[in-house]
Amino acid sequence: MKLVAGNWKMFKGPAETVAFLDELEPPAGVEIVVCPAFASLAVAVGRGLPVYAQNVHWAEQGAFTGEVSAPMLRELGVEGAIVGHSERRQLFAETDETVRMRCAAALEAGLRVIVCVGETEAEREAGETDAVLRRQVAAIPQHDALVIAYEPVWAIGTGKTATPELAQQAHETIKELHDTRVLYGGSVKPENAAELLTQPAVDGALVGGASLEPESFAAICRAAT
C-alpha cells in the first residue's frame, strides 16, 4: 500500500485544519497522513487520519527555544514527524548530523519518521546527485518505522517536477543504500501524480502545496490506489 503525506508547511491554523479534515474524503487502499503546523497538531489528532509533525528535536527537554520534543508530540497523540525537509536544511541550517540525531530521538520515542533527502539544481547540473544522495542516506538510521522521501530541492515549490524516469532512478539508488519505502516529493499535483506513483520504486508521495485543498489532496491519494 502506498503512503501519501500532506506537508502543510506554515499554513492552516486550528480552524482551517478542522475545516479541511471535515471536508476531506480519503479513499480506501492508500495510507494517508497529514502534517499540520505545530499550532494545529492538537486539533488534528483524533479526526480519522494519522497526524505527523513537521519537525522534532533530538533532546527530550531543555533550553531549545522554538523546538518541540518527541515525548511532547507523543503526549499530544501525534504519530510521527518529518525530518530533514529541504526547507529546514536550506533555511535553518539543518545538517546530515542533526537529521540523524532528530531521526534517532523520534524513533526511540516511538514516533514514525519521514526523512527527506535530495539534491539542489546546482548539484544535479554538476553531476553530483548520486554522491549527495549517498551522503545524506548514509546518515539515516535503519528502522522499520522510517521511510525516506526523495525531494529534489529544485522541484520544491517551483512547479518543476522530476520526470518519472529521474524519480525512478533516484529511488533505485536510495533503495540500494537503505531498505525502506521511498516517497517522491517535489511539486506533486493531481495532474502528474499517477505517472509518478506508477513507477516501480516510488512507494508514495510527500505532497506540499497540492495538499492544502481537500479535493486536490484526495485526487492525489486516489492516484496512489
**HSE of 1 in the Cβ direction (CA atoms, 13 Å)?**
9
Residues with a known catalytic role: 85, 151
* pLDDT confidence tier of residue 159, bands split at 50, 70 and 90: confident
Q: What is the pLDDT of residue 157?
A: 72
Domain ranges of the chain: 3-223
pLDDT, averaged across the chain: 96
pLDDT digits (tens, 9 = 90+) for 108-129: 999 999 999 999 988 988 999 9
CA 21/CA 48 separation, integer angstroms: 8
Domain 3-223 is found in CATH 3.20.20.70:
yes
Per-residue pLDDT for 155 more than 80?
no
pLDDT above 90 covers what percent of the chain? 92
pLDDT attached to residue 209: 95
pTM of the model: 0.96
Per residue in 10-59, pLDDT (tens digit) is 999 999 999 999 999 999 999 999 999 999 999 999 999 999 999 999 99
Per-residue three-class SS string for the chain? CCEEEEECCCCCCHHHHHHHHHHCCCCCCCEEEEECCHHHHHHHCCCCCCEEECCCECCCCCCCCCCCEHHHHHHHCCCEEEECCHHHHHHCCCCHHHHHHHHHHHHHCCCEEEEEECCCHHHHHCCCHHHHHHHHHHCCCCCCCEEEEECCHHHCCCCCCCCHHHHHHHHHHHHHHCCCCEEEECCCCHHHHHHHHCCCCCCEEEECHHHCCHHHHHHHHHHCC
| Percentage, residues of the chain above pLDDT 70 | 100
Q: Residue 3 above 80 pLDDT?
A: yes
Label residue 179 by pLDDT band (50, 70, 90). very high
pLDDT, tens digit (0-9, with 9 covering 90-100), for 45-88 = 999 999 999 999 999 999 999 999 999 999 999 999 999 999 99
Determine contact, residues 158/130, Cβ cutoff 8 Å.
no
Q: Determine the pLDDT at residue 162.
A: 82
Q: Provide the CB-side half-sphere exposure for 67 (13 A, CA).
A: 17
Lowest mean pLDDT among 5-9, 69-73, 160-164, 175-179: 160-164
CA distance 80 to 99: 15
